Structure 1
């Protein structure tokens, strides 16, 4: 059915399940009872085969298709080992099954009982890239599924890159009335042109003019929730950090925005400013690197 051998890895099984689940999903095959039945069988098989421990126990015959314990039986091969000339004797063990499809092997041993088994639907995984500010402030987005259906997604404020949001009951349909699985959405957070984030705090390198740094004053500062007015103290140096409380990551608790001042000179120094600085340097010369010593 899937072209998988009995030694298929869990990753192989998961990929095959996703492919078949998408192909036979009832939403993509409205009114097709055969596709619906196939989807139920594939989901039921994956519920067992997708669990490594259950798969090993099923292969050993310890549990049936429902996961229930089986009484131990002796098979003809056990008797065959006792007598080498027995017509059923063989040293190949179960190698004659090696090329069978692992799902088909599962169905042949217990598939007829799926009609009686209620099984939970499989979880479906999705990847969603969101804006930096959506992660900081929280947002509501509509997610389009592979089958064309859509679901609303509430993104809480403060989510982090790689975080997984679980939408209960939005996964694959259950089998024979079983509850549906969940949708698992892994988030990828984009970058921002001038904000960065550390925990629940937002960092911003803010350019200020020479006169703003020397004289101080009120200036407008961007924050994730809008522009606010901030006071720059007179004599502020490059690298000085000012804190805007509650203007970082929203939600509970709110973070702060840390504003790092950066003095920026005009692109062109006009003659008046140049002449002033020459006079000022002659009268007020100082060495800001003195503490570094001779090294």
Structure 2
């Protein structure tokens, strides 16, 4: 992965929301479970995840933008930027003219030191003069410090193990109420997983150190949450909506009826003369909120359940017709439409 911005297909000025949106779109498109016969998709999925991990971290993103770390999050060459104030500056001149087989006329000979050749000056003494300090005869061999000229470069950082991707199917009612889930990892161990407040379909959770082992430590486990649809509940932001059928006599006379919620059934009081389409509110029976004061039991705050009444006519209308006789309702329910 060379550039996380290019990997996600976004501009360097992208907002956090744009980064997250681009990642979710690519993650769903490239998920290994949807591309079992396409190994390149799995490889791209890994690159996309790494790019999102870097850019979603404000500190790492700033370090990358300043050129302090690479796309993998590793520190760049500590000498990067030396001589940046002039084209082909000091660091570039040293690399071009000093190495064996360097291009003719490059490096020290023509660009940096006004034409000194290999026979004109001892380069070791020259660097001593430039950077100060004793001569080689007076100074013991250097083995530390900045890893100065002539010393071995520091060993590359040890690579961490690969991340492991998991998919967690969560029932709608559990996601709404924020109930803990269990997931079995690749090593066979089952752990309890706490869902974040306001969890959404496609939310990714990182399990530190639960990936493949590696010389630099284990990778992470990446859990993608998939919320199952429900036959009659539907999410509306922090609220949950549902349509509740009631009989004609319940609408006319009113009364108490059972109403399902994600926490179990509750009794709902219907007022006499209730109309179809009336929306009733069950406070605190909705989706967990990302922010807001916690409930008395310490659980996250939640939205409401919004119940829309639907008047259901009886299947056998004969008895109803006999009771109504010739009676007709004098009201015009369509009057507000100008009809």
Q: Which has the higher contact order (CA 8 A, sep 6+)?
A: 1
Query: In the superposition, relative to structure 1, how do residues 158 and 13 fare at CA in structure 2: closer, same or farther (>3 Å)?
Result: closer
Alignment match, 1:229: 267
Alignment match, 2:313: 265
Kindly report the root-mean-square deviation, in angstroms, between the aligned alpha carbons of the 2 structures: 3.9
Q: Which residue among 226, 232, 245 is the counterpart of 1:207?
A: 245
Alignment match, 1:164: 204
Distance in 2 separating the partners of 1:246 and 1:55: 46
Alignment match, 1:285: 330
Distance in 2 separating the partners of 1:256 and 1:136: 11
Residue 150 of structure 1 and its aligned partner are, at CA, apart by 4.4
Residue 174 of structure 1 and its aligned partner are, at CA, apart by 4.3
Distance in 2 separating the partners of 1:197 and 1:136: 9
Q: Which residue among 257, 275, 287 is the counterpart of 2:322?
A: 275
Residue 279 of structure 1 and its aligned partner are, at CA, apart by 2.6
Distance in 2 separating the partners of 1:163 and 1:76: 53
Alignment match, 1:86: none
Query: In the superposition, relative to structure 1, how do residues 77 and 292 fare at CA in structure 2: closer, same or farther (>3 Å)?
Result: farther
Query: In the superposition, relative to structure 1, how do residues 215 and 66 fare at CA in structure 2: closer, same or farther (>3 Å)?
Result: closer
Secondary structure of 1:134 counterpart: helix
What are the ranges of 5 or more consecutive residues in structure 2 without an aligned counterpart?
A: 1-5, 8-29, 31-39, 47-63, 80-90, 107-151, 289-298
Distance in 1 separating the partners of 2:75 and 2:284: 54
Does structure 2 conserve the Cα–Cα contact (< 8 Å) formed by 1:137 and 1:158?
no
Query: In the superposition, relative to structure 1, how do residues 14 and 274 fare at CA in structure 2: closer, same or farther (>3 Å)?
Result: closer
TM-score under structure 2 length normalisation: 0.53
What are the ranges of 5 or more consecutive residues in structure 1 without an aligned counterpart?
A: 1-8, 19-50, 59-64, 83-109
Query: In the superposition, relative to structure 1, how do residues 211 and 15 fare at CA in structure 2: closer, same or farther (>3 Å)?
Result: same
Query: In the superposition, relative to structure 1, how do residues 290 and 147 fare at CA in structure 2: closer, same or farther (>3 Å)?
Result: same
Secondary structure of 1:128 counterpart: strand
Distance in 2 separating the partners of 1:17 and 1:247: 37
Alignment match, 1:247: 285
Deviation track 1:225-281 (CA, whole Å, cap 9, x = no partner) reads: 011111001111011011111112244212211111010112221x22112223321
Does structure 2 conserve the Cα–Cα contact (< 8 Å) formed by 1:135 and 1:156?
no
Alignment match, 1:186: 224
